[in-house]
Structure 1
Amino acid sequence: MKVAQTTNGCLIRADQAAKQQQVARYFCPHCQQLVQLHRGVHKAPYFAHIAERVSGGGESPAHLAGKQAIAELAHALGWHATFEVPVGETQRADVWLTRNQQPLIIEYQCSPLTPDKLNQRTIGYQQHRLPVLWVVGERYCFTNHYLSQQQLGFINYRRQWGFYVVSYLPKWGQWVLYHHIVARDFAGYAWQTLRLTTKAFVRLLVAQTRLPANHYKGKSQPMQQQIIDRRLGLQDAHYVALQADCYAHHERLQAVPDWCYCTRNVPPIYQLSQFESRVTWWLSAQPIDLFLAVTPLLQQPLLKQSLFAQWGQIALKQALKKNRGSVDHRF
């Protein structure tokens, strides 16, 4: 298709649209459906209808709308955007941004994606020395306090926002920033939510605004002990197994040292709860510097995990110092 219709009803040729710096939306003059501009490298620019995303190819209207929104945001920040750029032999970048000859890949994910596949795609870009950021669609919105491994996989870190996830909702044309995400033992996750228009998001990014964090309170030690008793009474398989580990070491789950209870918020980057990790570490009688060996980080290549590698030891040393009287003689 050589000609498309703009949002104000004017017709525009593909070669004219390709020369424009501003990112815009285009529609088929006949059916009024969204079409995508293909700038082409070896072919002349053209417009094409968007097929529903299916296994092995195609693209849904929601995915197209997300990419257009990302490009519009990037343009307002001084980046030039190109869609579906091949990277290596097996990958295509949803949105390839360039500014001052510096590249940046933005991936918009609104369909199911396993953590392993997310890691594989992210590492694929990193192997080409291409920085990548992920924006998620409605499927990955935070709706309750127990986040899935898929949602946690998209977590990134920024000093002004803490641990965060960026979402774009095509139905509402709205950006959602989940920031200062924390994990709480026996209480799931907590975060702050900020809903933004594209203009407001641009202002936030330009100003590098530091967003306030809500100091969520973790559950107290007595409350955590009550939860453990209740779950054991309900024969919760997870806690029954943990109790069995205690029995194997001639201990009881209800009698673990005080420092096994974590009442502080922690970064949302661990696969196991602090309680389970600390109990397992206590039973194995390992040195404190091996604590992270039983508290594995989430497999998350978006995070520079070296920045947080010492968190476990520091927090646990503080807990041990605070509860010296309850430290088991094995340590």
Structure 2
Amino acid sequence: MLTAQTEQNQRVAASDAQRGMPYFCPSCREQVILKRGTRMMAHFAHRPNSNCRPFSESESQKHLTGKWQLAAYFGPKHVELEPYLQLLAQRPDLLVKREAHQLAVEYQCSPIAAGKLRQRNQGYHAYGLEVIWILGEAYLQTITSVRHAEKWLQYSDKLGWYLIFWETRQQCLIVWHHLTIDGLGGLQGWARTSTGNQVGKRTPKTLTSVQKLIQRRIQMGLHYKNAKWLKLQQFCYEHQRLLQAIPPVCYHFTNAEPLVCESPIIWAALMTVLLSEVPVGSLIRQLDLEKWAAKISTLFDGAQLIQCTTQQLANSWGRQLQRYADLLEQHGILKELAKKSWQLIASPY
């Protein structure tokens, strides 16, 4: 903890606390220990075997440092550090107050289970608070795919799908924005700092290399009888197709929405398996695409987009299906007749 209370219930920062004076946890009211030295960020700690739930998690020096820096970044006049919300038995790292608007800020440096993350969000929302999760710099190295990012991904019209990090050495936010999935299932997009500097873009692999890698994954998965790949192959068998025989058009299905934890090329291939059962000349409606997507959804691990609203999720699926239809239209397989309806004018195989 960076703050504690005196016997008179006054909030005191660890950096301002006096040695020898008693200080207490704002949640459980147990007396806490002041820890301050030349090699560590000043903080308060519970005694061993404390039963205090809201303050039970141990915090690294980077976490403590990051919280101080974030408080300075948002502005000391607008920030309450580690406020204890008694009705929720929760405490955000920061509570940012601007006029009538309040925002709970969580600075996450360590792993956290999806269930616990969801529970915290629900608590804040029930309290009428918006919440934003800012990730520690260690996550910059470990997040490479939807599987790693799913529970942290947030969406806005301005940034698209995005993640926010805090870098303690540079003392700045790093925002990965307009994130999509490349052909192999990895995250790609832009990154910039809170100072406005663009710090790079992940470059996708060439089409030829993606084709080779996808085929290699399928071959290895089937050779070693991996349950996931056997399930996908069984689906293709049932529709008189082979998983290995991915139509060329599907290899162009990249920049996909982060909805499934798998290569979007494989997703597009299974959609195209169902499309191939429709006679050339048939009418294809948005509802058909939605039914096919629902049918193959059981074959994939869906992303746990905990930070996403139901409407945002529905909109994301709408964009995904539209992008798939646009791709087929560009390759002369579909012809648009009206909004959200097309004619199948050529076989995808």
TM-score in terms of structure 2 length: 0.67
Q: Distance in 1 between matches of 2:25 and 2:234?
A: 62
**1:313 maps to amino acid:** L
1:87 shift after superposition = 5.7
Q: Does 1:164 align with 2:151?
A: no
Q: Distance in 2 between matches of 1:120 and 1:129?
A: 14
1:314–1:216: structure 2 CA closer, same or farther, 3 Å change rule?
farther
Q: Per the alignment, in what secondary structure is the counterpart of residue 271 of structure 1?
A: coil
Q: Does 1:26 align with 2:15?
A: yes
* Aligned residue number for residue 254 of structure 1: 244
Q: Per the alignment, in what secondary structure is the counterpart of residue 107 of structure 2?
A: strand
Aligned residues: 297
Q: CA contact under 8 A between 1:184 and 1:265: conserved in structure 2?
A: yes
1:191 shift after superposition = 3.4
Q: CA contact under 8 A between 2:192 and 2:200: conserved in structure 1?
A: no
Q: Distance in 1 between matches of 2:27 and 2:99?
A: 21
Q: Distance in 2 between matches of 1:259 and 1:124?
A: 45
1:81 shift after superposition = 2.0
* Aligned residue number for residue 291 of structure 2: 290
Deviation digits for residues 14-45 of structure 1 (CA, Å, limit 9, x no counterpart) = 99x959xxxx77166659xxxxx9896999xx
* Aligned residue number for residue 80 of structure 1: 79
Q: CA contact under 8 A between 1:141 and 1:167: conserved in structure 2?
A: yes
Q: Does 1:136 align with 2:126?
A: no
* Aligned residue number for residue 10 of structure 1: none
* Aligned residue number for residue 92 of structure 1: 91
Q: CA contact under 8 A between 2:67 and 2:107: conserved in structure 1?
A: yes
Q: Does 1:116 align with 2:115?
A: yes
The residue correspondences of 1:240-319 to structure 2 (distance < 5 A) are 240-284=230-274, 287-293=288-294, 294-295=296-297, 298-304=303-309, 305=312, 306-319=314-327
* Aligned residue number for residue 282 of structure 2: none
1:84 shift after superposition = 3.2
1:274 shift after superposition = 1.6
| Counterpart among 150, 153, 156 of residue 155 in structure 1 | 153
Q: Distance in 1 between matches of 2:84 and 2:67?
A: 13
Q: Per the alignment, in what secondary structure is the counterpart of residue 163 of structure 1?
A: strand
1:135 shift after superposition = 0.7
1:18–1:232: structure 2 CA closer, same or farther, 3 Å change rule?
closer
Q: Per the alignment, in what secondary structure is the counterpart of residue 93 of structure 2?
A: strand
Q: Does 1:51 align with 2:18?
A: no
**1:183 maps to amino acid:** I
Q: Per the alignment, in what secondary structure is the counterpart of residue 84 of structure 1?
A: coil
1:124–1:30: structure 2 CA closer, same or farther, 3 Å change rule?
closer
The residue correspondences of 1:162-241 to structure 2 (distance < 5 A) are 162-170=160-168, 173-186=171-184, 188-195=186-193, 201=194, 214=201, 216-217=203-204, 219-220=206-207, 222-234=208-220, 235=223, 237=226, 238-241=228-231
**2:134 maps to amino acid:** V
Q: Distance in 1 between matches of 2:25 and 2:192?
A: 35
Q: Per the alignment, in what secondary structure is the counterpart of residue 261 of structure 1?
A: helix
1:310–1:141: structure 2 CA closer, same or farther, 3 Å change rule?
same
1:272 shift after superposition = 3.3
Q: Distance in 2 between matches of 1:95 and 1:38?
A: 19
Q: CA contact under 8 A between 2:102 and 2:130: conserved in structure 1?
A: yes
Give the RMSD, CA atoms, in angstroms: 4.3
* Aligned residue number for residue 284 of structure 2: none
Q: Per the alignment, in what secondary structure is the counterpart of residue 212 of structure 2?
A: helix
Identical counterparts, % of pairs? 21
1:278–1:149: structure 2 CA closer, same or farther, 3 Å change rule?
same
List alignment gaps of at least 5 residues for structure 2. 35-42, 276-286, 335-343
TM-score in terms of structure 1 length: 0.70
